């Protein structure tokens, strides 16, 4: 038990990456989150032209890649960022909390208690998302599931990302594999072309969720409300496949959201995630990478997609 507490406290202590105070800042070092009245998170709409769960006719044969993956050069890559489920029961974890029972419960209670005294009216109007009852009672065995139209899990550490992929019979992509998959068969710097186009992927948004909730982009990075913040009616964190133009093409097949939406962990002993998250102020597309954090690090912007060798 002492070991578990130590791990939880250590993970929480690592949270925080300094972000530039512009609307699209990058995650960085912050003080531990400050303490949370619950209300159910808004249901995020799925665009009518979001990709279907059924792979196109040209998708990689099942003998090479599972149905939810695309053959990107020499590796199978998940089409969509991962939703985390419990391997034993198949139940989905809340995407708004770290996938560790004790820490998720503590953060829910903390922000539920203190939310009403922090931030302005807009911040106070955003309720703390509920935790599934089962998730408060037992530790999940993490399994990464790739499917369209769901809110992908943030708050994922590199260690947890690695475990969730392995439990799915997959693995973390190497950084080179990830970049190749993002660039598509045409080897373009951006999933959609050779030049940056604002809005084509879900990145460099005009709002930063920590600025909305805490008037400071560098604090409160474990607040479970961060990925519920919207810009008008448009959520900052979109459902998987929710930006149809952001697709990395492989023939008539594709992977979605490899630039923007969430940062995605890749295999690196020192810790690395690629792609940029929705409010990161970067225009480097598939070359966007952060190697400043160990694999135990996590915050609201860190997620994962998995790779697998063909066959």
DSSP letter at 27?
P
Q: Does the pLDDT value for residue 211 go beyond 50? A: yes
Q: What CATH code is carried by the domain that includes residue 30?
A: 3.90.1580
For residue 220, name the pLDDT band (cuts at 50, 70, 90): very high
Looking at the structure of the chain, the number of domains it has is 1
Contact 107, 128 (CB under 8 A): no
Residue 48: inside a domain: no
pLDDT in tens, 28-41: 333 334 333 333 33
pTM for this model (two decimals):
0.81
Percentage of residues in the chain with pLDDT exceeding 70?
Answer: 80
* 190 domain residue, yes or no: yes
Q: Does the structure show a pLDDT above 50 at 127?
A: yes
- Looking at residue 260, the DSSP 8-state letter turns out to be B
**Do the domain assignments include residue 6?**
no
Per-residue pLDDT, 129: 97
* 49 against 63, higher pLDDT: 63
What digits encode the pLDDT tens for the residues 4-17? 333 333 333 333 44
In a domain, 161, yes or no: yes
Q: Which of 93, 62, 88 is nearest to 156 (CA)?
A: 93
Print the domain residue range for 127: 18-34+53-308
pLDDT of residue 120: 82
Residue 5 resides in a domain = no
Q: Give 3-state DSSP helix, strand, coil % of the chain, rounded to 5.
A: 20, 20, 60
Strand order in the sheet with 306-308: 69-72, 75-78, 306-308, 171-172
**Residue 234 falls inside a structural domain:** yes
- Give the pLDDT band of residue 71 (cuts 50, 70, 90): very high
- The helix/strand/coil state of 146 is strand
Percent of the chain surpassing pLDDT 90: 76
With 0-12 CB in 10 A as exposed, 13-18 as middle and 19+ as buried, what is 213? buried
* Residue 215 included in any domain: yes
Domain membership of residue 109 (yes or no) is yes
Confidence bin at 47 (pLDDT 50/70/90)? very low
Residue 42 above 80 pLDDT?
no
Local confidence band at 122 (pLDDT 50, 70, 90 cut-offs): confident
Instruction: Tell me the two tokens of residue 114.
Output: 């203190």
């Amino acid at each position: 038990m002492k070991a578990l507490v130590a791990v939880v406290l250590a993970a929480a202590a690592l949270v925080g990456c300094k972000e530039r105070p512009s609307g699209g800042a990058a995650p960085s070092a912050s003080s531990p989150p400050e303490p949370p009245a619950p209300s159910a998170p808004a249901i995020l709409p799925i665009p009518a032209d979001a990709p279907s769960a059924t792979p196109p006719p040209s998708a990689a044969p099942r003998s090479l890649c599972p149905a939810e993956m695309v053959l990107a050069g020499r590796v199978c890559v998940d089409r969509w960022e991962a939703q985390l489920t419990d391997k034993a029961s198949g139940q989905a974890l809340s995407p708004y909390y770290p996938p560790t029972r004790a820490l998720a419960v503590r953060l829910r209670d903390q922000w539920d208690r203190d939310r009403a005294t922090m931030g302005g009216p807009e911040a106070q109007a955003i309720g703390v998302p509920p935790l599934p009852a089962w998730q408060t009672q037992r530790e999940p065995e993490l399994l990464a599931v790739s499917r369209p139209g769901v809110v992908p899990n943030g708050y994922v550490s590199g260690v947890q990302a690695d475990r969730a992929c392995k439990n799915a019979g997959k693995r973390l992509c190497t950084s080179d594999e990830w970049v190749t998959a993002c660039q598509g068969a045409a080897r373009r710097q951006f999933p959609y072309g050779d030049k940056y186009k604002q809005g084509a992927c879900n990145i460099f948004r005009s709002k930063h969720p920590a600025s909305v909730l805490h008037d400071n982009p560098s604090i409160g990075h474990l607040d479970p409300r961060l990925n519920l913040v919207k810009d008008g009616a448009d959520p900052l964190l979109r459902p998987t496949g929710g930006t149809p133009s952001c697709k990395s093409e492989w023939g008539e097949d594709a992977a979605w959201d490899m630039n923007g939406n969430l940062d995605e962990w890749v295999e690196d002993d020192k810790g690395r995630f690629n792609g940029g998250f929705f409010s990161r102020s970067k225009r480097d597309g598939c070359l966007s990478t952060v190697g400043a954090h160990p694999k135990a690090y996590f915050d609201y912007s860190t997620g994962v997609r998995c790779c697998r060798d063909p066959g």
